Amino acid sequence: MNNDLKSISPNLFIRFLLEIIALVAFGMWAWTVIDGALRLLSTSTVPILISIICGTFAVSNDPSRSGKAPIAVSGIIRLIIELVIFISSLWILFYLNYTTFSYIYGTALVLHHIFSYDRILWLVRQK
pLDDT digits (tens, 9 = 90+) for 57-84: 989 888 777 767 788 899 999 999 999 9
Single pTM value for the model: 0.87
**pLDDT tens digit sequence for 30-40:** 999 999 889 99
- Residue 116 CA to residue 8 CA, distance in Å, equals 14
- Residue 16 CA to residue 61 CA, distance in Å, equals 20
